[in-house]
A and B are shown apart, each in its own frame.
Chain A
Amino acid sequence: MKWSFKQHSVIPGFSLALGFTVLYLSLVVLIPLSTIFIKTAGLSWVQFWETISSPRVLASFRLSFGASFIAALVNTLFGLLVAWVLVRYRFPGKGLVDALVDLPFALPTAVGGIALTTIYAENGLLGSLLARVGIKAAFTPLGIVIALTFIGLPFVVRTVQPVLQELDAEMEEASACLGATRLQTFCRVILPTLLPALLTGFALAFARALGEYGSVVFISGNMPMKTEILPLMIMTKLEQFDFAGATAIAVVMLVASFVFLLLINLLQWWSARREA
């Protein structure tokens, strides 16, 4: 039998559609990203290493990865709670709450950043309350975590919600019939079913937080060695016309993003294999 790419279909246009897809992805994604590697290749290994291991860059690596991790963790916990409330309970204004979840998606991130800074600044609405107990939110790593939590919330909620919706209520009833307590039912029956979705949501929120710029630069204060995030480091290098240095940091972030994409796909493959 002759092997062929083409499969019989009632809708024609396989060659045209595939050709356009490849061209489109190349123009929009592949070519711009590959220039980062080409530009970085202008540096020698030593220069590359020096750029990414300078104390200031290292500090921002730690900050960006650390804050993103904490924010994604917080989002996983509270995103699950929000999704649970939205799926399991009926209450007035539910539609509004559901829509609110998407707000961080829709809002220009700079608007979010300014709003958060205003509220969490020492003379702001929440900032003044926090200041009273001795916590400084704006212009500290805590502020960065808050901003990253804000922009990452929809990811966990929107990945967990459909899975929770499809969760068979009978499975919980079966668990109770077999003598499991509510906590046991949650930990042994519900959580394992939600785990792939939770991990996917976590990875998405983490990846998004890593690259976030707009909402963070206002609340972080951008103090060298203290509150400079990675995207800001790239901006700074660019402003100093250190293009190779900027792309070196970009390469590291790009590789990190790839690793995360790979992890997400592995997760989905793993959970699909078990339930297929």
Chain B
Amino acid sequence: MSIQVQHITKQFGDFAALDGINLEIPTGELVALLGPSGSGKTTLLRIIAGLETADGGNILFHGSDATTQSVRERNIGFVFQHYALFRHMTVFENIAFGLRVRPRKLRPPKQEIADRVHELLRLVQLEGLAKRYPAQLSGGQRQRVALARALAVEPTVLLLDEPFGALDAQVRVELRRWLRRLHDELKITGVFVTHDQEEALEVADRVVVMNRGRIEQVGTPTEVYDQPASPFVYNFLGNVNLFHGRVHDGKIEIDSAAHAGVTVGDRDTAATVGYVRAHDLDVDRVAKDVSSMAAVVRHIHAVGSSVRIDLTLQVSNEPAEAQISRERHEELSLSVGEQVFVTPRRVKFFGDYQI
């Protein structure tokens, strides 16, 4: 079922948590709401669920207005960051809850409920734990119970609020890949909130980047990573270098190196900021072209699949970070304190922007 968010606003006192949000989530897609804390992503999710009411705007489920519907009527599955399992019920009772509270006419018979619960336990790979209490489970297991409980009522939409936020790193990676596979299997429309860019880029079909109650960009993971629409998105997704430069004779100058072919209008000597991803910065012993900048190696982190090099630009004294392959690192065999030249392969300029 598709979800349409139209002009949603929400105010907490003087603070605008959501400022005119428009968003369309097509049927069957898994969408990530990504942003720093305070960006309004959780508020938006809770408004879609009906746990929070918006000050203005509409929520449409499959084209029909659901704005005034209560949580109960919306038939959504909601997974909370801290699981929110019923502590006094066993895993079985937790999952069966949604079916057991149905009005008598719609309530499935006992055997059917038991079958459904066991089928869900198989789906979340927790067979044999039906009689345990939530306190006797690990964090990852609890979150899977929470997911099974949400799925038990056959919701039309699955909403997850930082579903992996309370888990440790290894379980988190495991569980998010599992969620992706589960989604491919069930094909249910899903929205999840996260502040972890890696999680959003890996799991979601589409990423909605939010900042200060507004949507900065909507796109596939590749789109938002490769073509960020704003400095904020650039900053939030992945390691990025900020080079402060000025516009001179219609050309941009950073650290007295010219960046040919890039012009930003006629505002002479206007300040500008160039954004370069760490892996888009080449490191050489000699200057490659006019856009090369002299820098000094400060530190080398040679752990992992690539090598990270901390540098300081010589003219402006600005810090920079380059990421090169292990092979390239062996070829160069750099040492700390050495002078090198860095050349950006791809630069994106935005006007004078302060984060």
Contact = CB atoms under 8 A, between A and B. Distances in A.
Same complex origin of A and B? yes
B82 A175 contact: no
Interface of A: 168, 170-171, 173-181, 184, 188-189, 192-193, 274-276
B225 interface: no
B135 A188 contact: no
23 contacts: A170-B82, A170-B84, A171-B85, A173-B80, A173-B84, A174-B78, A174-B80, A174-B84, A174-B86, A175-B97, A175-B101, A177-B77, A177-B78, A177-B150, A179-B72, A179-B75, A179-B98, A179-B153, A180-B101, A193-B87, A193-B88, A274-B88, A276-B135
A67 B89 CA distance: 35
Nearest to B46: A173
Contacts of A173: 51, 71, 78, 80, 84
Given A168-B84, A180-B101, A188-B101, 20 more contacts: A173-B51, A173-B78, A174-B149, A176-B51, A177-B71, A177-B77, A177-B78, A178-B97, A178-B150, A178-B153, A179-B72, A179-B75, A179-B98, A179-B101, A179-B102, A180-B72, A274-B88, A275-B133, A275-B135, A276-B135
Interface string B68-84: 00111001111010101
A37 to B, nearest CB: 40
A180 B133 CA distance: 21
A interface, over-half SS:
helix
B70 to A, nearest CB: 8
Contacts of B84: 168, 170-171, 173-174
B254 interface: no
Contacts of A189: 86
A174 B70 CA distance: 13
Given A176-B71, A180-B72, A275 B88 contact: yes
Nearest to A167: B87
Interface of B: 49, 51, 70-72, 75-78, 80, 82, 84-88, 97-98, 101-102, 133, 135, 146, 149-150, 152-153
B76 A177 contact: yes
A173 B84 CA distance: 9
A20 to B, nearest CB: 37
Given A175-B97, A274-B88, A170 B80 contact: yes
B86 A177 contact: no
A172 to B, nearest CB: 9
A173 B76 CA distance: 12
Contacts of A171: 84-87
Contacts of B80: 170, 173-174
Contact of A176 (B72, B87, B133): B72
B88 A192 contact: yes
Contacts of A176: 51, 70-72
The 7 closest A-B pairs by CB, nearest first: A178-B98, A170-B84, A180-B101, A177-B78, A174-B84, A176-B71, A192-B88
Contacts of B77: 177
A275 B87 contact: yes
B165 to A, nearest CB: 13
Nearest to B155: A177
B49 A181 contact: no
A275 B123 CA distance: 26
Contacts of B146: 174
Given A192-B88, A275-B88, A178 B133 contact: no
Nearest to B97: A178
B101 A177 contact: no
A228 to B, nearest CB: 43
B314 to A, nearest CB: 54
Contacts of B102: 179
A170 B97 CA distance: 15
Contacts of A174: 78, 80, 84-86, 146, 149
Given A274-B133, A276-B135, A181 B72 contact: yes
A184 B88 CA distance: 15
A276 B135 CA distance: 6
Contact of B49 (A177, A180, A276): A177
A7 B326 CA distance: 54
A179 B75 CA distance: 7
A184 B98 CA distance: 11
A177 B150 CA distance: 8
Contacts of B133: 274-275
Nearest to B88: A192
Nearest to A169: B84
Between A173, A177, A274, A276, the greatest number of chain B beta carbons within 10 A of the residue's beta carbon is seen for: A177
A188 to B, nearest CB: 7
Contacts of A177: 49, 51, 71, 76-78, 150
A171 B149 CA distance: 12
Contacts of B98: 178-180
B157 to A, nearest CB: 11
A177 B102 CA distance: 12
A171 B94 CA distance: 11
Nearest to A187: B101
Nearest to A173: B51
Nearest to A196: B88
A170 B83 CA distance: 9
Nearest to B133: A274
A188 B88 CA distance: 10
A178 to B, nearest CB: 4
Contacts of B51: 173, 176-177
Nearest to A182: B72
Between A175, A178, A180, A184, the greatest number of chain B beta carbons within 10 A of the residue's beta carbon is seen for: A178
Contacts of A168: 82, 84
A178 B100 CA distance: 10
A179 to B, nearest CB: 5
